[in-house]
Amino acid sequence: MQFRKSLLTIAMSTLMAWVLIHSAQAAEDERQASEWAFELADQDGDGVVDEAELASDTAAGFSGLDLNGDEHLERTELESHDPADFNRVDTNGDGRLSFREVMTIKLKVLDETDANGDGVLSKEEVVKYDAAH
């Protein structure tokens, strides 16, 4: 009986270590993805993303997702995205997203993410925001 308890304790300890290691790796992967996205958006390389760069980055992403080229994003074009997020962005309720609707949300996120209120996003602000959401 004591041997079984020892094996169970070892197995649980191993499992917990595995979970901790993989959780740490997932967090690091998310951080790297946030940093990479920031670097793509920071088109002039000045270390911050301003509203113009955000708009340009959003336009590029929008057009890349607009598979049928109708200048709107439909649920079928965003299959991997959470339907609740789609509904939150679709402010007029027409079942598709205009660039204006997407950009409105992006500007709200810019304001939420801009911790120091300087009107631009630093890499640190983006990484911190992404980690919390």
Q: How many domains, the chain? A: 1
In a domain, 14, yes or no: no
**Cα–Cα distance, 31 to 101 (Å, whole number):** 27
The answer to whether residue 38 sits within a structural domain is yes
List the domain range (segments joined by +) for residue 107: 30-132
Residue 25 lies in a domain: no
Q: How far apart are CA 128 and CA 114, in angstroms?
A: 10
Among 54, 59, 24, which residue's Cα sits nearest to residue 37? Answer: 54
> CATH code at 96?
1.10.238.10
Kindly write down the DSSP assignment for every residue of 21-74, as one continuous string.
HHHHHHHHHHHHHHHHHHHHH-TT-SSEE-HHHHHHHHHHHHHHH-TT-SSEEE
Residue 115 lies in a domain: yes
pLDDT of residue 59: 92
Mean pLDDT by 10 residues, the chain (133 residues): 50 49 62 87 94 93 93 90 88 95 94 96 92 85
Cα distance between residue 61 and residue 1, in whole Å = 60
Which residues does residue 73 pair with via DSSP β-bridges, in sequence order?
97
